[in-house]
Amino acid sequence: MITLPPSERDLNAYVDGQLNEADRATMDTYLAANPALLQRLQGWQQDAHSLRAGLSGELHRMPNPQLDPSAIRRRIAQQRTRRIATAAALLVAVSLGGAGGWQARNMSIGHANPPMADAVQAYRLFAGNAEMASDWSATKTRDLQGWLDTHFARANRLPDLASAGFKPVSGRLTTTEQGPAAMVVYRDEQGRALSFYIRPPGELNKLLPRGSRRDGDLQADYWSGGGYNYAVVGPADDPAAQAARRAF
């Protein structure tokens, strides 16, 4: 039931024909007594009618195949595929970047720190110099192994290179970033020098697989054992030094 005077909703419902029969009759009676309002509502009704007629032509435009539901579904599927492909490409790019960066880091670290570079440096510094000060010499004590063992517990045995003509001539203690190190220099009768180098693996406990590398005119053979890293350094292209290397 509507109440009088009619609400905004009642007026519109009257225009749109959405009132029930009783309400409609009530409105008709009311409007008969209010000609101005009646005229207004009739104007609204007439406009609605003109609009329906005027816009009916819009329903008969040429169909647009792009708007067909099947075309829309195809496009949604394409967009989804494209998004997945983009996400996958992004993932691959990020992974490649990450892996590549890590690899580059390893390479640059490896490049900056070749294994047992300190052994080669020590050789260059001391072994070439016959006058080098020694912490051990054959004249003081015969027991080189004992001297080494007092500084490095459970160290590998010193190599016996006598068969290749090399004899230990001096030993020297030094310090490195990784801890204390010792170098024993062997010489043969022609004055060629080989060094045996021992030190702890350092904080990162970086033990080495057995390997060999060349550094200028020197060759370093390195390995790990008994909790230490070792290197034997000597001239790279010298046959006598190669023979000595084969001895251990």
User: Within its chain, how far is the Cα of 22 from the centroid?
Assistant: 79
Q: Is residue 20 a contact point for other proteins (CB under 8 A)? A: no
User: Burial of 148 by CB count in 10 Å (0-12 exposed, 13-18 middle, 19+ buried)?
Assistant: buried
Closer of 9 and 210 to other proteins (Cβ)? 9
d(CA 40, CA 47): 11
Q: Is residue 15 a contact point for other proteins (CB under 8 A)? A: yes
Q: Is residue 66 a contact point for other proteins (CB under 8 A)? A: yes
179 closest CA partner among 210, 151, 209, 211: 151
Q: According to CB under 8 A, which one of 1, 3, 8, 246 is a site residue for other proteins? A: 8
Is the distance from CB of 168 to CB of 184 less than 8 angstroms? yes
d(CA 159, CA 196): 8
Q: Is residue 154 a contact point for other proteins (CB under 8 A)? A: no
Q: Is residue 67 a contact point for other proteins (CB under 8 A)? A: yes
CB of 58 to other proteins, least distance (A): 4
Binding to other proteins in span 123-152, by CB under 8 A? none
Is the distance from CB of 119 to CB of 233 less than 8 angstroms? yes
CB of 16 to other proteins, least distance (A): 6
Q: Which residues bind other proteins (CB under 8 A)?
A: 7-9, 11-13, 15-16, 40, 43-44, 47-48, 50-52, 54-55, 58-61, 63-64, 66-70, 72-73, 75-76
